[in-house]
Amino acid sequence: MTMPRRIVAASVALIVTALASRVSAQNKGCEETRNPKQLPPARDILDSADAILELTQANVLAADMRFSLLFEGTDSFPRVRLLETTDPKAAIVLLRSIWPQKPAEPWAVRVHVVGGATPSLSLERSIYCPPTPESGPPFGTRISVQMKPGDRRPPPGTQHIVIRVEALIDEGGVPSNVRIIQSSGMSDVDAEILKLWEGRRFHPALIDGEPIRAVWRADGQSPRM
């Protein structure tokens, strides 16, 4: 007997986690995701009727359930995470109803399932928290200009030079690919700034409380998922 393609692929390609939402110091920067730009109809992501039927037959359909789906841009199926139910079996049951996708870039949504006499299913936006440096002494990217004889003079009125830094922060809060995207014009200063940021640790970016890799920028303009 040949199993449906989506079930076979799910058993191989998906990573299912059932972790509680993490309390993060990033709450001030957390917002709804901007990708996808338009929230798709639930039927484009999964077979709604089949999902409700499967949850009912497995006896895991609760009055109010939420699941986080993260499409990472490489796999056809998402990572599935429980948000408001504690039975890991519910996530496994749900992903049997998910249609394969072809995402060009990472994006995430939440699936909201309401049980009861007339069960329903809808999509909601996920919550994204950008990476932030852990507490500690601030590492400057704004340097005071102190002129010395023979120095090239900055434009009139200039008191500071702003250096902009960008890095990829992994799920453990470790930076990599740290680079200067706006130089001070002084190679030794840039090198010192890079060294400082390469040794710093971060609170990783979160999607619905789950750590993910993400880009961080020192100017506060980190890209939104």
d(CA 105, CA 74): 8
pLDDT of residue 96 exceeding 60: yes
Q: What is the pLDDT of residue 141?
A: 57
- 67-94 average pLDDT score: 88
d(CA 27, CA 218): 18
Read off the pLDDT band of 10 (50, 70, 90). very low
Q: What is the pLDDT of residue 25?
A: 44
**Closest-CA residue to 206 (of 15, 73, 19):** 19
pLDDT of residue 83 exceeding 60: yes
pLDDT of residue 1 exceeding 60: no
Residue 160 pairs with which residues in a beta bridge?
144
Q: What is the pLDDT of residue 136?
A: 56
What pLDDT digit, counting tens, does each position of 20-48 carry? 334 334 456 899 998 888 999 999 999 99
> Both tokens of residue 203?
């609170």
What's the sign of the alpha-carbon dihedral 11, 129, 131, 42? positive
Query: What are the respective helix, strand and coil percentages of the chain, to the nearest 5?
Result: 20, 30, 50
AA letter at 114: V
**Closest-CA residue to 151 (of 184, 194, 193, 179):** 184
Residue 182 pairs with which residues in a beta bridge?
164
What pLDDT digit, counting tens, does each position of 184-206 carry? 777 888 888 888 889 899 999 99
pTM value is 0.74
d(CA 105, CA 1): 35
In the chain, where the domains are located: 5-128, 132-203
**Residues found in the chain:** 225
Is there a contact between 33 and 127 (Cβ–Cβ < 8 Å)?
yes
Q: Which residues contact 34 (CB under 8 A, 6 or more apart)?
A: 224, 225
What pLDDT digit, counting tens, does each position of 138-179 carry? 555 555 545 555 555 555 555 567 788 999 999 999 999 999
